[in-house]
Structure 1
Amino acid sequence: MIYIIDGSLESVLCAVFEWFERKPGKVLLKMKQHFEPDAFEEVFSVNNDPVKADRVWEGLQRTLDASWIRKYYCTFLSEKPDALVSLFEFTCYLFLNKSGAEQNYGNEYVLAIAQTARKVEREKHRMEAFIRFKQGADGMFYCGIDPDFNVIPLIMKHFKDRYADQKWVIYDLKRHYGIFYDLEKIEEIYLSKEDQRKLNDPQTDLVSEKEGMYSDLWINYFKSTNIVARKNRKLHMQHVPKRYWKYLTEKQGI
C-alpha cells in the first residue's frame, strides 16, 4: 500500500490518522509531486483534514514533552527527502507503544529524528550568529540567506528580541520567502526575482550611502583585534565554516 501526501506537516499527521483507522499493514509514504503511478500498486491519496491532523497533533502533545515536540518540528523543517517518512513511522511507533518509547534510540526512526533535529538546531544557531544586516537607503536593515534547512521559523524570535527597535527583513533566497519586522509584528513576505537579485548586491541602489563606511569600520576593527601569532585556521574553520563567510562583513574580500 502506498500513501500519497502533499508534503505538508498536516498531510503527515493525516496519514497517521488514516493508517490507524484503516490498518492496512506496512505502507510506503510518497510525495505527490514525486510519485509515478504504477498499475499494479495499491495507492491511497491522503486528503488533508484539519480535524484529523489536530487529533493526531494533540495526541503527540500528550505523549511527548516540549523538547521532543521541537525535535519533531525541526525534523519537518529539515526538508530532507526521508524526513516525512521518519515522522510518519515515528508517530505510529509512539502510539503503538508504552509511554517513553521516544527514548528508545535503538529504533531507527527515533534516532533519525534526534539526529536530524540536531543538525537543524545547529544551522539555526549558526544563522543567528553569522547573519549580518545591511542598511538600505530607506533606513531598513536587510539580509539574504540560503541555509541548508528551512530555519526562518526558528530564528524569528531571536531577531525580534535582539533587534526590536529597528525594521528589518531576512529573506531565504533558496526557498523564496522571508520575514519582515515592522517594529510591532513579523510578517511573511515574498519578493520578485529582481528584488531577490538586488538583495545581496553591494552595488544596488537599495544600499544606504553610509553602509560602505560602516562595513569599512567593522573590517578595520576586526583586523585590529586579530592576533596573527595565535591564528589557528583549522579551529577557525570548525567554528566558522567557509560556506557562512558570505554573510560576514569581516570576511569580504578574503
Structure 2
Amino acid sequence: MKVLLYDGSFYGLLTSIYHGFYMKEIDIKLYIKDTYNSNFLNMEFYIDTEEAKALKVYNSINDKLGKNILKNVYYLHLAEGDEIPTLIFKYLKLAFKYGPEISLAKNNDIIINVDKYRRRVSLEAHRFTGFVRFKAIGENHYYSRISPDHNILPLIIDHFINRFRNQNFIIHDTKRELAIIYNMSQGIITDFSKEQGDYLFHNSFDKNYENLWKTFYSSVNIVERNNPRAQRNYIPSRYFKYLTEID
C-alpha cells in the first residue's frame, strides 16, 4: 500500500490528492505526517506542498464538481480523525467519476461518512458562536479559551469579527494551540501556545464581571422550569466548562 504524507494544511491535502490521482493506484491512503505512525509494510512518500498543484485541484473541484463538493472537502479537512484525508481522497475519486450528483447517493458508505463529518463540523461551529465567553485582559481587550473537537476557528472567525468589530479579542483553541487574534482592523489565525493562553487567562481582571453575569443568570432563572435534560440537548455537557454562568 502507498501512503502519502503531507503537512496538514489544506493546500498540502490538495497537493497530495493531485499526486494520488496521477499515481493511478487502487490502494492509496493519505495521512498528516505529524500524526502518522510509520509502518514498514507501507510505501511512504512525503508530499511537499505546492501551491500551483493545489490550485489545479481546487479549481478542478470548483469548476467540474461545484461549490458544494468543494465545501464538503474543506469542512472534512477541518474534521478531527486520522481517517479523514483518505476519506476525502476516496470521495473525490467517486465525484470525478460520477459527477456532482454523487452526493445524492445516500446509501454509499463514503457519502454517509462525508455527510456525517460535515454535519459534526458545521454543528460544532454553530454551537461555539453561541456560547464562547470572554475574559477582560485589559481595556477593550478580551480573551476566550476553547477546546473544540474539530478545527472550527476558520468557520467562526468572520462571525466574531462582525459581532465584536470594535473590540480587540483572542479566541484560543488550546487543543491545537491556534488562535483567532483580532485588533479592530484585521483578524488572523495563528499559532498560540498553551503557556501564552494560561498567562492571559490567569491574569485577567474581570472577576467582578463574571460574578455579575452569574448573578444575572441566577436572577432570571426560574427554578421550577429547570430542565437539565433539555439543556443537554441544546448544549452537550462537555461544553459546560466554557460557560461562565454554569458552575
Shift of 1:140: 0.4
Shift of 1:15: 3.1
Shift of 1:193: 4.3
Return the index of the structure with the highest Cα Rg: 1
In 1, the alpha carbon distance for the partners of 2:194 and 2:48 equals 32
In 2, the alpha carbon distance for the partners of 1:135 and 1:31 equals 36
Partner amino acid, structure 1, of 2:89: F
Match of 1:5 in 2: 5
Match of 1:226 in 2: 221
1:124-163 superposed matches below 5 A: 124-163=125-164
Percent identity, please. 27
Work out whether residues 130 and 248 of structure 1, in 8 Å CA contact, stay in contact via their aligned partners in 2. yes
Shift of 1:29: 3.0
Unaligned runs of 5+ residues in structure 2 are none
Q: 1:32 to 1:180 in 2, by over 3 A?
A: closer
Match of 1:169 in 2: 170
Unaligned runs of 5+ residues in structure 1 are none
Partner amino acid, structure 1, of 2:216: Y
- 1:199-240 Cα offsets, whole Å, 9 max, x none, are 333xx2xx23xx222222211111111111111111112112
Partner amino acid, structure 1, of 2:177: H
Aligned length: 245
Shift of 1:25: 2.8
Out of 203, 213, 216, the position equivalent to 2:211 is 216
- Asked whether 1:194 is paired with 2:195, we answer yes
In 1, the alpha carbon distance for the partners of 2:234 and 2:192 equals 32
- Asked whether 1:36 is paired with 2:38, we answer yes
SS at 2:138 equivalent: coil
Q: 1:130 to 1:15 in 2, by over 3 A?
A: same
Partner amino acid, structure 2, of 1:112: N
Partner amino acid, structure 1, of 2:38: E
Q: 1:192 to 1:108 in 2, by over 3 A?
A: closer
Work out whether residues 17 and 89 of structure 2, in 8 Å CA contact, stay in contact via their aligned partners in 1. yes
SS at 1:250 equivalent: coil
TM-score, normalised with respect to structure 1? 0.87
Farther off after superposition, 137-146 or 190-199: 190-199
1:176-187 superposed matches below 5 A: 176-187=177-188
- 1:153-173 Cα offsets, whole Å, 9 max, x none, are 110000000001111111111
Farther off after superposition, 64-73 or 75-84: 64-73
- Asked whether 1:244 is paired with 2:246, we answer no
TM-score, normalised with respect to structure 2? 0.90
Q: 1:111 to 1:193 in 2, by over 3 A?
A: closer
Work out whether residues 16 and 92 of structure 1, in 8 Å CA contact, stay in contact via their aligned partners in 2. no
Work out whether residues 146 and 174 of structure 1, in 8 Å CA contact, stay in contact via their aligned partners in 2. yes
- 1:69-94 Cα offsets, whole Å, 9 max, x none, are 22221111012111111101111111
